[in-house]
Amino acid sequence: MIDFRSDTVTQPTAAMRAAMAAAPLGDDVFGDDPSVNALQQYAAELLGFEAALFAPSGTMTNLIALMSHCQRGDEAIVGQNWHTYKWEGGGMAVLGSIQPQPLANQPDGSLLAADVLAAIKPDDPHFARTRLLVIENTTGGQVLSLDYMAQMSELAKSNQLACHIDGARIFNAAVAIATATQADPYQVARQLVAGYDSISVCLSKGLGAPVGSLLLGSAEFIARARRVRKMLGGGMRQAGGLAAAGLYALQQHVRRLADDHQHAQQLASGLKQIVSDCGLETQFSLQMPQTNIIFCDLDAALASHFVAELGKHQVRLTSSVYQSAGQTKSRLRLVTHLDITLPQIQAMLSCSGDILSNY
Ligand SMILES: Cc1ncc(COP(=O)(O)O)c(C=O)c1O
């Protein structure tokens, strides 16, 4: 199977499994699992925070962050497309009693500073208390720049807001910037998150660990976050095996994200060529990816034919339906990752060529 559904589908490598098997274990709810502690300490130092907390998922580390920054009746400014707002079951409202204030995402994925400023409520009992600004990077595979990240944290600070990054794929952003500027990706990652109060980093996406996410912040913030994690049922016991996979991923799988980005470029440019050769540009459009995620917008009939035919060749991807100017369209998403090889990209292009030329 060639699985482009998500970068969450990866299997741990043999070396990662060995690190997991060798991990010393304790009870992390008592705070004495040495492998969890090693991961937390390593990650905090790596990204320039005082402390870190390991939790089962990115949804949980985001929710812990929201609930640790905000009280009941507070408000968090988010993007319409942010995962924290749109893809986490409304958790901040349902479980945190936090009011989301969504703002339109710009075509580059960012929020306009003017929109953020206009959304901050005055201190008036009619309004929820605006407490937090959330930024997501990468967002839909798009990279928010170093300048933009600095601008947003300064804007938050100068308006007495806390600021949190959903950095599920922050290392994809760092590697994309580092590749373009010939910089060190770890150094770029530190620069991207500087000035933020907290960040959630997923270990089980591009980094290839089987489970887990980290929340990073000040020691005082992480102490509060630990209480919230317990309340949400995210305290794990002998979690060191999972933490060892996460540590291995942070140490060994960051630089190689450049391969995933290159594979995404090869896949997108190959598909563009096929679509053009088949004269299908009006029915099949795609944006060149900045990292490891490709979106293609297709007429619904072509999309269902393409996805069904790819399925016969054991190629999997995700497809969602949406309305555009009264027409039903389909958006396909293809994600490259640790378990996608160049021969698989070539196989995908070859069967896409066959399917589309016979359409
Ligand atoms: C941007 C972003 N944030 C957070 C998450 C949540 O991660 P998890 O699936 O570990 O809950 C995801 C998952 O796809 C994501 O894409």
Measured from the CA of 59, which atom of ligand 1 is nearest? 11
CA of 59 to the centre of ligand 1 (A): 6
Q: How confident is the prediction along the chain (359 residues), in pLDDT tens digits per residue?
A: 999 999 999 999 999 999 999 999 999 999 999 999 999 999 999 999 999 999 999 999 999 999 999 999 999 999 999 999 999 999 999 999 999 999 999 999 999 999 999 999 999 999 999 999 999 999 999 999 999 999 999 999 999 999 999 999 999 999 999 999 999 999 999 999 999 999 999 999 999 999 999 999 999 999 999 999 999 999 999 999 999 999 999 999 999 999 999 999 999 999 999 999 999 999 999 999 999 999 999 999 999 999 999 999 999 999 999 887 788 889 999 999 999 999 999 999 999 999 999 98
Q: Considering only CA atoms, which of 218, 209, 270, 271 is closest in space to residue 239? A: 209
Instruction: Say yes or no: CB of residue 168 within 6 Å of ligand 1.
Output: yes
Edge-to-edge order in the sheet of strand 284-286: 284-286, 293-299, 327-335, 318-324
CA distance 130 to 126: 12
- Which of helix, strand or coil describes residue 306? helix
- Pocket-testing residue among 10, 59, 64, 172, ligand 1, by greatest number of atoms within 8 A of Cβ: 59
Instruction: Say yes or no: CB of residue 201 within 6 Å of ligand 1.
Output: no
Measured from the CA of 56, which atom of ligand 1 is nearest? 10
Measured from the CA of 204, which atom of ligand 1 is nearest? 10
Residue ranges of domains in the chain, CATH in brackets: 7-252 (3.40.640.10), 257-357 (3.90.1150.10)
Measured from the CA of 169, which atom of ligand 1 is nearest? 1
User: What is the rounded (10 degree) CA torsion for 308, 312, 316, 319?
Assistant: 0
- Pocket-testing residue among 10, 87, 172, ligand 1, by greatest number of atoms within 8 A of Cβ: 87
CA of 213 to the centre of ligand 1 (A): 9
Burial class (CB in 10 A: 0-12, 13-18, 19+), 322: exposed
CA distance 244 to 24: 9
Structure tokens at 28: 């992390």
Q: How far is CA 159 from CA 120, 218, 309, in A?
A: 8, 20, 52
Structure tokens at 52: 């870190």
pLDDT more than 90, % of the chain: 97
CA distance 258 to 175: 6
CA of 287 to the centre of ligand 1 (A): 22
Structure tokens at 202: 């997923």
Q: What is the pLDDT of residues 214-223, one digit of tens each?
A: 999 999 999 9
CA of 278 to the centre of ligand 1 (A): 36
Measured from the CA of 57, which atom of ligand 1 is nearest? 10
Instruction: Say yes or no: CB of residue 213 within 6 Å of ligand 1.
Output: yes
CA distance 254 to 315: 26
Instruction: Say yes or no: CB of residue 83 within 6 Å of ligand 1.
Output: yes
Q: What is the pLDDT of residues 51-110, one digit of tens each?
A: 999 999 999 999 999 999 999 999 999 999 999 999 999 999 999 999 999 999 999 999
Instruction: Say yes or no: CB of residue 164 within 6 Å of ligand 1.
Output: no
Measured from the CA of 138, which atom of ligand 1 is nearest? 1
